[in-house]
Amino acid sequence: MGFTPNYLEPGTVLAGYQIESMIARGGMGVVYRAFDVQLNRPVALKLLAPEFAANDKFRQRFVRESRLAASVDHPNILPIYGAGESSGLLYIAMRYVRGTDVRAELEARGALPLAEVIRILGDTASALDAAHAAGLVHRDVKPGNILLSEDRADVHRHVYLTDFGLTKRTTSATGVTTAGHFLGTLDYVAPEQIRGEYVDGRADVYALACVAYTLLTGHPPFDHDDDSAQLWAHMTEEPPFLCAERPEVPSEIGLIIQAGMAKRREDRPTSCGALIGMMTPPSLANPPPVDSPGVAAGSAPEDANDDAVSPLRATPVQHGRPPGGSWHAAMALLKGKAWIPMALVAALFLIFGASLVLPQMSATNERVLFRSEGIPYTLEIPKSWTHHIRDRGESTVSVLSAADITALFADEPEAMAATARIVDLEPASVVGLAIYHRSPRVSNVLPAARIDAVEALLPGQAAKLTDRGPLTFGEVKARRMDGILPLSSTVTLQVRVCALETDPSQLLVFFAPSRLFEENVRVFDEVANSLRQPK
Ligand SMILES: Nc1ncnc2c1ncn2[C@@H]1O[C@H](COP(=O)(O)OP(=O)(O)OP(=O)(O)O)[C@@H](O)[C@H]1O
Ligand SMILES: [Mg+2]
């Protein structure tokens, strides 16, 4: 006999738990207050919708991750008492928390005071780092999954992080079920998780930074009604600067939250504790226990990354207090001659630079051999240029650069504005080469027609090229054209186009934000001269 989780009468016994009352209906099922008949204690019993039990992969992952979560013993991880399947339903029994959750808190009170946010998220970070060290990635860090206990009214409300591994990634990364129902929020999901890639603890760092932004402003960082606009924003839109809305919050905190929301996980702080630690000014590192001003009383492809859980090397974080040392390190450069531009640049370098700038500087010198199906030659390219490929109707385009901007060269709507935002955010990631696999042969036509044909192939309507005549490109005859490709009223890519006399004929478009073009021309020439056709 099967139960429907929505309609369990009080008194019903399921897997040894007697239902008392419904607490709330969530995205994946229903949470009841129940009673453990054998152990004689209250529990919260979450029953997942039957469609989840019907999905083998989900069921296996649910059981595996519930066990793993139960094995991580941490004061801020909600204790799990039992999990499994009964009467056709997946259930999870956990400690019953009398209190509220952070989403309800936000809805009731609006943006929260900084000290309170740091305290709640410091405890949450501590729970997440412990989970990462045990090989578990949460994947669904959000205010609704942070519970606040009111069991002990005399002290800070205790923080419990819940719902490990309970993402709705049953058929895709976006939480859309087979029935097409959307089952959760997309407000906090990391770009790599959206793409269905390998996910590690840095996806939780991203989500935690988005949660910090939300708690401090009252709304999520990327606030679009439309799901696809929301996903696109996570992948391409510059993370907003908190202090534009909360000018009284120190700008370092705004910068650190932005760093937590970096598109590339290697540009984020390395652990959740590091993120919140860097947000914690010394004055807040050891807040008085109660009633300090502003402190509230009390306190992808389907399952592509199922097994790709790799723990971060967790920064040890003391329970209950984010480490203040990181703040000192990050801010040391700002002290003394505080706020002079040099120091600001140095601090920015410390926060973003070590992971972002250095690899790119060295990567310009380090080359790897690039070869790909459909491209009848090899090239030696900078190591930082990764290969992204996309069908574009009749032809195909390969883009070699740090940022994935295939949508631009596939001439998709929105892609110009999105690329312009990436140029603002990370200009060096928009330096590279686009290869149009099959392009019109331009050798035997008049120069004007040649230019027209190539301009029409480039994104948008406004590309402007000048013919620079014939040249030998590596081992191959080619025509070269130089020009510009406007992305917005203020952002322009400069391009160097080479139409190759290969078979099939191919078009190579070197591109860089205009102000970075000159310093990359040498790299482009070297890549061009490295062209070899297999004998
Ligand atoms: N252990 C618990 N003790 C008391 N209340 C709980 C407990 N777990 C969850 N709740 C309450 O039930 C609500 C619904 O939880 P649930 O996890 O089903 O949904 P959600 O977190 O809103 O969404 P999602 O399904 O996407 O996680 C929570 O917001 C919380 O208020
Ligand atoms: Mg939940």
Residue 445 lies in a domain: yes
- For ligand 1, atom 24, which residue shows the shortest CA distance? 27
Domain boundary among 49, 71, 93: 93
Among residues 484, 480, 455, the alpha carbon closest in space to that of 467 is found at 480
Among residues 260, 272, 267, the alpha carbon closest in space to that of 316 is found at 272
pLDDT value at residue 151: 66
- Three-state helix/strand/coil letters over 103-160: HHHHHHHCCCCHHHHHHHHHHHHHHHHHHHHCCCCCCCCCHHHEEEECCCCCCCCEEE
Q: Counting atoms of ligand 1 from 1, which one is nearest the CA of 30? A: 18
Q: Give the chain's domain count.
A: 3
State yes or no: pLDDT of 101 exceeds 90.
yes
- CATH number, domain at 233? 1.10.510.10
Q: For the purposes of burial, counting CB atoms within 10 Å of the CB of 248, is it exposed (0-12), middle (13-18) or buried (19 or more)?
A: exposed
Q: Are residues 102 and 68 in the same domain?
A: no
CA 145 / ligand 2 centre spacing (Å): 4
Q: Are residues 146 and 266 in the same domain?
A: yes
Residue 6 lies in a domain: no
- For ligand 1, atom 17, which residue shows the shortest CA distance? 26
Q: What is the pTM of this model?
A: 0.58
Q: Are residues 275 and 424 in the same domain?
A: no
Report the alpha-carbon distance of residue 84 to residue 91 in Å, rounded.
6
Residue 61 lies in a domain: yes
Residue 305 lies in a domain: yes
Tokens of 495: 């391009």
Do 366 and 358 form a contact (C-beta atoms < 8 A)? no
Q: Counting atoms of ligand 1 from 1, which one is nearest the CA of 184? A: 26
Q: Are residues 157 and 282 in the same domain?
A: yes
Helix, strand, coil tally for the chain in percent (to 5): 35, 25, 40
- For 468-525, how does the pLDDT look when each residue is reduced to its tens digit (9 = 90+)? 888 888 778 888 888 999 998 888 999 999 888 887 788 899 999 988 888 898 899 8
The ligand with the least distance to the CA atom of 168 is: 1
- For 180-192, how does the pLDDT look when each residue is reduced to its tens digit (9 = 90+)? 333 457 899 999 8
User: What Rg, from alpha-carbon coordinates, does the chain have?
Assistant: 27
Catalytic position from the list 101, 123, 140, 267: 140
Place of tokens 């482009």: 524
Q: Counting atoms of ligand 1 from 1, which one is nearest the CA of 185? A: 26
Cα-based distances in Å from 245 to 181, 254, 486: 34, 10, 31
Residues 6+ apart with CB under 8 A from 331: 252, 281, 347
Q: Are residues 195 and 335 in the same domain?
A: yes
Q: Determine the average pLDDT of the residues in 265-291.
A: 76
Q: Are residues 287 and 180 in the same domain?
A: yes
CA 31 / ligand 1 centre spacing (Å): 6
Active site residue 151: no
**Which residues, in sequence order, are bridge partners of residue 465?**
483
Cα atoms in the Cβ-side hemisphere of radius 13 Å centred on 391: 2
Domain boundary among 28, 62, 93: 93
Q: In 463-525, which ranges are E strands?
A: 464-473, 476-486, 492-500, 506-513
Q: Are residues 150 and 131 in the same domain?
A: yes
- CATH number, domain at 383? 3.40.1000.10
Q: Are residues 155 and 245 in the same domain?
A: yes
Q: Which residue from 6, 21, 25, 31 has its CB within 8 A of the most atoms of ligand 1, so it is best to mutate?
A: 31
Q: Are residues 381 and 269 in the same domain?
A: no
Q: Are residues 246 and 136 in the same domain?
A: yes
Q: Which residue from 17, 23, 48, 96 has its CB within 8 A of the most atoms of ligand 1, so it is best to mutate?
A: 23
Q: Determine the average pLDDT of the residues in 395-424.
A: 87
What three-state secondary structure class fits 175?
coil
Distance of CA 499 to the CA centre of its chain: 37
Residue 281 lies in a domain: yes
Q: Determine the average pLDDT of the residues in 193-220.
A: 93
Residue 8 lies in a domain: no
pLDDT > 90: what percent of the chain?
Answer: 37
Q: Are residues 248 and 126 in the same domain?
A: yes
Among residues 372, 373, 364, the alpha carbon closest in space to that of 401 is found at 364
Tokens of 294: 């502003």
Tokens of 415: 């892609």
CA 244 / ligand 1 centre spacing (Å): 32
Residue range of the domain that includes 375 = 367-529
Cα-based distances in Å from 319 to 199, 273, 452: 25, 10, 64
Residue 341 lies in a domain: yes
For 293-329, b/e burial (b = at least 16 CB within 10 A) is eebbebbbeebbbeeebeebebbebeeebbbbebbbe
Question: How many CB atoms are located within 10 Å of the residue 501 CB?
Answer: 16
Q: Are residues 142 and 236 in the same domain?
A: yes
Q: Counting atoms of ligand 1 from 1, which one is nearest the CA of 97? A: 3
- CATH number, domain at 21? 3.30.200.20
- For 329-367, how does the pLDDT look when each residue is reduced to its tens digit (9 = 90+)? 444 433 333 333 444 444 443 444 333 333 333 334 688
Domain boundary among 312, 336, 357: 357
- For ligand 1, atom 25, which residue shows the shortest CA distance? 27
Residues with CB under 6 A from ligand 1: 23-24, 26-28, 31, 44, 46, 78, 94-97, 101, 144-145, 147, 162-163, 184
Residue 345 lies in a domain: yes
Of 196-210, 298-312, 331-345, 431-445, the range with the highest mean pLDDT is: 196-210
CA 65 / ligand 2 centre spacing (Å): 15
- For ligand 1, atom 13, which residue shows the shortest CA distance? 24
Q: Determine the average pLDDT of the residues in 300-322.
A: 34
Report the alpha-carbon distance of residue 530 to residue 473 in Å, rounded.
9
CA 162 / ligand 2 centre spacing (Å): 7
CA 296 / ligand 1 centre spacing (Å): 22
